[in-house]
Amino acid sequence: MVRAEWAIFEEDYWAINNVLDDLLRSSRATNVVLIDRTGQLVSQCGPSVDFDLTSFASLCAADFEANYQLAKLIGERDFSTLFHQGARESMYLAKIAKGVVLVVLFAKTTTLGLVRLRVKRAVEELNDIIEQLYEKLEYRNEEYDTFDETFTRGVEAEIDNLFAE
């Protein structure tokens, strides 16, 4: 299930951000971003960036999707992590439950090994948080999705009236 929009409860927001803060500090990364598979920014931790974070999130989601297709072509189910190394900055992307993607930006002041080690722990923690969040959202949607027949008939009648000629 891909969520087009996010609803995060306060306790989940703090749980997610605590994991991201810990990852930022323990890996010595410059920035940590959490996005969904549609490219929507879920959360960001670290100093302000000099680029459009919304576009960045969309491109990261597209990057993960393109690599998913590449994995299928070579007979893999998917790739759970991606790594891009630049001259000054690098990025490490990791798949989390429900298609959520963790993006870690880091400079030469840290190592890929340290980032990978810290990301592994963060992914485990975030998997639990995201799975629980989806369970809450599904339960909440079930509560709101059950309308009685009278309400449904009334809504249908109003819609018919709007489009009647």
Q: Is residue 1 part of a domain?
A: no
Q: Is residue 133 part of a domain?
A: yes
Give the tokens for residue 160: 């018919």
Q: Is residue 4 part of a domain?
A: no
Q: Is residue 69 part of a domain?
A: yes
The residue length of the chain stands at 165
**Quick check: 76 pLDDT over 80?**
yes
Find out whether 14 and 50 touch, Cβ atoms under 8 Å: no
Q: Is residue 63 part of a domain?
A: yes
Amino acid at residue number 157: A
**Structural domain count of the chain:** 1
| Domain CATH code at residue 118 | 3.30.450.30
* Domain with 20 in it: 10-163
Count of CB atoms situated within 10 Å of the CB of 104? 27
Q: Is residue 5 part of a domain?
A: no
Model pTM score: 0.78
pLDDT tens figures, 141-156: 444 444 556 756 666 6
Q: According to the model, what pLDDT value does residue 82 have?
A: 92
- Residue 163 per-residue DSSP state: H
**Quick check: 101 pLDDT over 90?**
yes
